Amino acid sequence: MDVIKSRRVSVFGSTGSIGRNTIELLEARADEFQVEVLTAHSNIELLCEQAVRLNAKTAVIGDETLFPELKERLRGTGITCAAGASGLLEAAARPVDWTMVAIVGMDCLKPALEIVAQGGCVAMANKECLAAAGKLFMEAAQRSRARLLPVDSEHNAIFQLFDPERAEWIDYITLTASGGPFRNNTLDELENVTPAQALQHPTWSMGAKISIDSATLMNKGLELIEAHWLFPVGHEKFRVMLHPQSVVHAMVAYVDGSVMAHMSAPDMRVPIAHALAYPERMRAGTASFDLAKIGALDFEPACEKRFPALRLARTALERDDGSATVLNAANEVAVAAFLELRLRFTDILPAIEGVLEEMAAAPGALGTPQNFDDVFELDRLARRKTLENINRRARSRRNLPHTPAGVPNPHMEKIA
């Protein structure tokens, strides 16, 4: 089954959870892929190891202070080294056949735009870019004729079920959500949740930021917005269903009552393999999927009243202005503050809602971004406001439950 002939590929964010899974798949069929660029923010050891193992042409480290060490470590290997934002952008501008976009957060937007501008196949794992700037991002992809391949498991599932030629016959689309580690807890019980507890996802193994997003369900909120831009059927057609087994990733219901569901083990190698081999198929290295072993599958509608993150995302979609940019920025700041032990878990969503309402109430503060400069400006403003609010709150409330001052937080390095 020699379907994938030597393709030039790059992996942005190769040391992260998605990045490592991608590297594993590339390595399993090393003779079919020629690795151009690998990038990481600060995990220099793993970046160098991957670059040497996969014989990459270039390794880029985001943290510029690590550039001398990168050169030292890769001396004599023939691998070109680069660093910092400019190094990332130059690497992103290098045309390849396929790129994995797996840098977490809005820091990914500039390199992602450069990657999209080259017009190849773009495996899109990052969801923040689409949540914050979906309309403009999709327009950029259309202009360059880049082939966007969604990697987020729900969106990859919809992509496999969705026929854009027959979109008018779609009745509704369901995104499933595991519900995260606190699905059955009351708000009171979540007051003293620590980062270590929130990072324990019941079904998926992921990076720190998305794990916290899954615990607040903001991950599903961001995914609703992401889905709206990737599959333009109208946001009111998207539903969220709680499904603790994380086996069904999405369902597309047609007007005749047929419902197509996509299933797989909760393992990101499955959607990554789909995107890597597209339009062919390749083995993902997972055990053969056996529904009989799983036995029963549970579903219940995710109530937007019970899960405020879904309500906030839905409101941002309804407003159709810069709200989604603000929501995403405020969420990144609030999640980082929680991981740094500066914000309670239960204060993450109120912090986001506070900034959204504050900016919506200020005349002219929340227009619809017309271009990416507007997006970056709105993002900067929302981050500043969120940080100010969090700092003000922290000053007035010094009794956070998990603030042993000076104790290093092991989760911090994962967040840029």
Residues contributing to the site for ligand NAD (CB under 6 A): 13-19, 39-41, 43, 62, 102-104, 107, 125-128, 152, 204, 206-210, 268, 414, 416
User: How many residues of this chain bind Mg ion (CB under 5 A)?
Assistant: 3
Closest residue to Mg ion, based on beta-carbon distance: 152
Q: What is the dihedral of CA 174, 17, 229, 95, to 10 degrees?
A: -140
79 binds, among ligand NAD, Mg ion, none (CB under 5 to 8 A by kind): none
Q: Which residues contact 172 (CB under 8 A, 6 or more apart)?
A: 237, 238, 239, 253
Quote the least distance from Cβ 194 to ligand NAD, whole Å.
19
Does residue 267 bind Mg ion (CB under 5 A)? no
176 binds, among Mg ion, ligand NAD, none (CB under 5 to 8 A by kind): none
Strand (E) positions, 237-315?
Answer: 238-242, 248-254, 259-263, 300-301
Quote the least distance from Cβ 130 to ligand NAD, whole Å.
9
Cis peptide leading into 279, omega within 30 of 0?
A: yes
Q: 82 vs 218, which CB is nearer to Mg ion?
A: 218
Instruction: Return d(Cα 367, Cα 335) in angstroms, integer.
Output: 25
Q: Which of residues 122-141 bind Mg ion (CB under 5 A)?
A: none
Closest residue to ligand NAD, based on beta-carbon distance: 16
Q: 240 vs 415, which CB is nearer to Mg ion?
A: 240
Strand (E) positions, 19-91?
Answer: 33-40, 58-61, 80-83
249 binds, among Mg ion, ligand NAD, none (CB under 5 to 8 A by kind): none
Quote the least distance from Cβ 361 to ligand NAD, whole Å.
29
Q: 154 vs 379, which CB is nearer to Mg ion?
A: 154
Quote the least distance from Cβ 241 to Mg ion, whole Å.
13
Instruction: Return d(Cα 150, Cα 275) in angstroms, integer.
Output: 7
Please give the structure tokens belonging to residue 159. Answer: 């992509």
Give the x/- contact pattern for Mg ion in 14-53, rule: CB under 5 A.
Answer: ----------------------------------------
Instruction: Return d(Cα 65, Cα 388) in angstroms, integer.
Output: 28
Q: What is the dihedral of CA 179, 181, 187, 192, to 10 degrees?
A: -160
130 binds, among Mg ion, ligand NAD, none (CB under 5 to 8 A by kind): none
Q: 45 vs 163, which CB is nearer to ligand NAD?
A: 45
Helices 44-53 and 17-28 cross at an angle (nearest 10°) of: 20
Q: What is the dihedral of CA 369, 372, 373, 374, to 10 degrees?
A: 10
Residue 415 · residue 332 · CB < 8 Å = no
Residue 115 · residue 122 · CB < 8 Å = yes
Q: 20 vs 311, which CB is nearer to ligand NAD?
A: 20
Residue 264 · residue 180 · CB < 8 Å = no
228 binds, among Mg ion, ligand NAD, none (CB under 5 to 8 A by kind): none
Quote the least distance from Cβ 207 to ligand NAD, whole Å.
3
Q: 43 vs 156, which CB is nearer to Mg ion?
A: 156
Q: 17 vs 315, which CB is nearer to ligand NAD?
A: 17
3-state helix/strand/coil string of 185-250? CCCHHHCCCCHHHHCCCCCCCCCHHHHHHHHHCHHHHHHHHHHHHHCCCCHHHEEEEECCCCCEEE
Does residue 152 bind Mg ion (CB under 5 A)? yes
Quote the least distance from Cβ 129 to ligand NAD, whole Å.
8
Phi, psi values for residue 344, rounded to 5°: -70, 155
Using DSSP, state whether 123 is helix, strand or coil. strand
Quote the least distance from Cβ 235 to ligand NAD, whole Å.
19
Quote the least distance from Cβ 257 to Mg ion, whole Å.
27
Q: 128 vs 154, which CB is nearer to Mg ion?
A: 154
Q: 187 vs 196, which CB is nearer to ligand NAD?
A: 196
Residues lying near Mg ion in the complex (CB under 5 A) are found at 152-154
